Amino acid sequence: MARKCDICGKGHQIGYTVSHAHNRTKHVWYPNLQKVRVGEKGSRRRMKVCTQCLRSGVLNKAS
């Protein structure tokens, strides 16, 4: 199960957490994904969508 937005494809980002002494440790940041029921062509489907796509109104939530 990929941690990726089904609409925009936003995924994880890799970088370093840097301490005050400049010790660098690898760190992974994941997008804020929500499981949402979406109505498409008369059927309901569950998708993982990032919160930015939810706020933008790109998809039609099923009721």
C-alpha to C-alpha distance for 48 and 16, rounded to whole angstroms: 26
The whole-number pLDDT of residue 1 equals: 61
What predicted TM-score, i.e. pTM, was given to this entire model? 0.77
Q: String of b and e for 17-48 (b: at least 16 CB within 10 Å)?
A: eeeeeeeeeeeeeebebeebebeeeeeeeebb
The whole-number pLDDT of residue 2 equals: 85
Question: Each residue of 34-49: pLDDT tens digit?
Answer: 999 988 777 888 999 9
pLDDT-derived band at 32 (thresholds 50, 70, 90) equals very high
Q: How is residue 20 written in tokens?
A: 């005050």
The whole-number pLDDT of residue 41 equals: 76
Indicate if the pLDDT at residue 63 is higher than 80: no
Domains in the chain, CATH or no CATH each: 1-63 (2.30.170.40)
